[in-house]
Amino acid sequence: MFSFRFTIPEDDTFSDVTLSQCEQQLEQWQGSQESNKTRLALMRRQARYLMDAERHTLALNVLEEAIALQPNDPFTRAYYGLVFEKLGMVKRATTAYQRAIDDLDDPPHPLTAQLWYRHGITLRLQGKYPLALKSYRQALALCPLYAEAISGRGVVLALIGRHKAAQREVERAVAIAPDSPQVLNNGGIIFLTARRYQRALSYFNRALDLEPNSERALYNKALIFSRLGQDDDAIAYLNPLLDPSQPVPSKVTYAMAPVEPWKASAWTLHGFLYLKERQFQTTIHSCRHAQRIQPNLYLAALYKFTATIASGQIWSQLQRADGQQELGHDLWVIVNTLKYRLLGLAGLILLLVLGQGAIANILRQGLPIVLSIGILGLIGLDLWRHKSRLAFVGKIYFRSGLLTYPRAALTLITTLITFNYAYSYAPRFMRWGWANTIFGAPGNIIFQPINLIQELSFQYPDPRSLLEHLWATIYPIGLSVRLWGQGNVGILAPTPVLGFMGTSLFHIGHFHVTLGTILMAFFWLALILGVPFWANLEERIFRQGANSWNAIAIRSTQFGLVHLFAGIPILGGFVLIVPGFLFACRYKYVRDRHYRRHKNPQQADAAGVIASTADHAVYNAILITLAIGSMLFESMLS
């Protein structure tokens, strides 16, 4: 970790005294007339030794004795705050630093700027960014070339989205102190926040050159590798940092020897990386470590709960009292973190289902537009993230073997026949999906932009008709803006461009090409490019490691039912178990054949995943092409 020392000239007398000498001298002074000033300086030296050895609880006890001896000593209060900061008790650290600043009668003292700097750090850790900036400003007013404070201010600026200003700050700080590990680590955090990962790596590497055992810089490098999708490299940095082989300590053990809070994030990241690899037991183990440090850590609870369900351990957990308590705590943390979002979602659904009047009508008509824009944005971002891996798309579509397309087509035909047959006999509730609430009919939400384009094209071929419809909806609540120089129109004035979607741009024989036609074609292309990446992700989640028929049955069921979150009818979730099973059979066949030939389980799993990804991606590509193609054909003939 990055070490920190307060500048207290009064303590220089004992700079060469060892920990054992401190303890012996203090024992000799018991009951003596030695001045409090000398005794306090030696006690602070003892506390510093204990902090360096990460014996924070003992350091806290020593400092509390010192405070009892002289309550208004600012130097002791400074180290008192530092111990609380290292223990993750940042509110108490902030209070201690503020008390030290108030008790320091000499503002120009070298300690004052350092206290404001630490004060700013603790406020940043609490998310109080404006107050943190004020504290850094106070530190820099006393010491304008305080590089650590400059870079610390840069971190806060990055966290509030002022990335350019933050980068200027860190460049200035590095120019002042190019050999400060803390400054370089802060620089890495600033560029990490801006998603400039290679630049961030260069800063962390420089910090590690100066301090090779810096745990925070090592964790930050692992975080970057995970963001870049280089999970193996991320794990390689985290494993020696965390030592996953160690058992999860008891709560009492952690209370006796607290760990810095950032390690909870490191353990959570470790659990997430293994969750992606479907190593659920490792995920549970890592997240338990994280929860020992921060019991109410949302992501640790979420990953552990997910791994518990995916591994099938939830049933054994429910049969034990301690298991029930652990699951209950995880659910409470998850729900408590999401409570306002869940309440907002529940309120929105109730308004959409039961609401009447102008506001409810605006929501019903506006929400599909908002969701469609959001879906398009997410697809675009995902394609941008994979822009350097587009060769993978060509490999899946064109180099997966001649039988891939007939297999995928046969799987699709089997699925559609099964769905149509089951649909005719299914009870009404099985035909319902959550998309009914928003869009009026169940269906995969990813197709919502196409449905919206088609609806707008047919219903409002003229832009004025769309505006008049919107105005008729909004008029009752008295909202108005100008309509092209005549009268009033509703607040959705930017929407008129959608009215052009049904306007014919040119003709190709009997076919009319509209803006909606072109947009649907581009959307088809985006989906076709994205499908191999999404299929590969699903295959790694639901197929990789399913090497027995029992595991295949469980994973195929999970695969089908998880699609209910996309808005398809309940019946559709059960029907999708069929293609899930067929993709799993393809995975198992290729995986087992590869293992018999090469006896390498990791390579066999990878080969099986690629084979099932090809079938899955081509299956989706055929389905998407048929769906969008039929819509295009219909719209171009109309």
Average pLDDT value for residue range 344-352: 77
Based on the fold, state whether residues 343 and 403 are members of the same structural domain: no
Q: Is the pLDDT of residue 577 over 80?
A: yes
Residues 6+ apart with CB under 8 A from 325: none
Domain end point (choices 315, 349, 383): 349
Distances (CA, A) of 356 to 344, 351, 352, 364, 369: 18, 8, 8, 10, 20
Query: What is the pLDDT confidence band of residue 487, given thresholds at 50, 70 and 90?
Result: very low
Pairwise CA distance, residues 619 & 409, whole Å:
6
Pick 5 or 371 by higher pLDDT.
371
Pairwise CA distance, residues 618 & 409, whole Å:
8
> What interhelical angle do 280-293 and 262-276 show, nearest 10?
170
In the DSSP assignment, the letter for residue 508 is E
Pairwise CA distance, residues 442 & 432, whole Å:
6
Domain end point (choices 102, 125, 144): 144
H or E, element range at 513: strand 511-514
197 domain-assigned: no
Alpha-helix runs per DSSP H in 475-542 = 515-542
Average pLDDT value for residue range 492-513: 51
H or E, element range at 97: helix 90-103
Q: Is 481 helix (H, G, I), strand (E, B) or coil?
A: strand
312 domain-assigned: yes
In the structure encoding, which two tokens stand for residue 411, read together? Answer: 């799987």
Domain end point (choices 144, 170, 193): 144
Cα 575 to chain center, whole Å?
31
**The pLDDT value given to residue 496:** 39
214 domain-assigned: no
Instruction: Write down the mean pLDDT value for the chain.
Output: 81
Based on the fold, state whether residues 378 and 335 are members of the same structural domain: no
* Residue 298 belongs to domain with CATH number: 1.25.40
401 domain-assigned: yes
> Following CA atoms 106, 107, 110, 114 in sequence, which dihedral angle do they give, to the nearest 10 degrees?
130
**The pLDDT value given to residue 243:** 79
Cα 387 to chain center, whole Å?
21
In this structure, which amino acid lies at residue 594? H
In the DSSP assignment, the letter for residue 431 is G
**Residue from 526, 281, 262, 241 nearest 383 by CA:** 526
Q: Beta-carbon neighbour count of residue 522 at 10 Å?
A: 11
434 domain-assigned: yes
Pick 351 or 213 by higher pLDDT.
213
Based on the fold, state whether residues 387 and 342 are members of the same structural domain: no
In the structure encoding, which two tokens stand for residue 215, read together? Answer: 């745990």
Based on the fold, state whether residues 440 and 566 are members of the same structural domain: yes
262 domain-assigned: yes
Average pLDDT value for residue range 355-369: 76
Domain with 345, as residue range(s), is 251-349
Residues 6+ apart with CB under 8 A from 246: none
Pairwise CA distance, residues 8 & 28, whole Å:
24
Based on the fold, state whether residues 430 and 389 are members of the same structural domain: yes
Please state which of the ranges 101-110, 120-129, 211-220, 539-548 shows the lowest mean pLDDT: 101-110
**The pLDDT value given to residue 463:** 45
Handedness of CA 270, 605, 556, 411 (dihedral sign): positive
In the DSSP assignment, the letter for residue 247 is P
Pairwise CA distance, residues 575 & 562, whole Å:
12
Query: What is the pLDDT confidence band of residue 365, given thresholds at 50, 70 and 90?
Result: confident
Answer for the pair 67, 44: CB distance below 8 angstroms, yes or no.
no
The percentage of the chain sitting over the pLDDT mark of 70, rounded to a whole number, equals: 82
**Residue from 58, 63, 57, 61 nearest 43 by CA:** 63
Please state which of the ranges 52-56, 113-117, 125-129, 632-636 shows the lowest mean pLDDT: 632-636
Q: Give the tens place of pLDDT for each residue, 294-329.
A: 888 999 999 999 999 888 788 888 888 888 999 999
**The pLDDT value given to residue 254:** 44
**The pLDDT value given to residue 614:** 95
227 domain-assigned: no
Q: Give the tens place of pLDDT for each residue, 166-189.
A: 999 999 999 999 999 999 999 999
Range with top average pLDDT, 264-268, 488-492, 505-509? 264-268
Q: Is the pLDDT of residue 145 over 60?
A: yes
Based on the fold, state whether residues 431 and 546 are members of the same structural domain: yes
Based on the fold, state whether residues 69 and 119 are members of the same structural domain: yes
Q: Give the tens place of pLDDT for each residue, 384-414.
A: 888 888 899 999 999 988 899 999 999 999 9
The CA R_g of the chain, rounded to the nearest whole Å, is 31
Provide the number of structural domains found in the chain: 3
pTM passes above 0.75: no
Pairwise CA distance, residues 154 & 124, whole Å:
11
544 domain-assigned: yes
Distances (CA, A) of 325 to 251, 322, 329, 330: 15, 5, 6, 9
Pairwise CA distance, residues 443 & 426, whole Å:
16
| Burial classification of residue 4, based on how many CB atoms lie within 10 Å of its CB (0-12 exposed, 13-18 middle, 19 or more buried) | middle
Q: Which residue has the tokens 């609880």?
A: 57
**Residue from 517, 585, 590 nearest 551 by CA:** 585
Average pLDDT value for residue range 126-143: 92
**The pLDDT value given to residue 9:** 62
Distances (CA, A) of 280 to 307, 330, 540, 542, 552: 5, 16, 13, 13, 16
**The pLDDT value given to residue 493:** 35
- For 48-79, the DSSP string reads HHHHHTT-HHHHHHHHHHHHHH-TT-HHHHHH
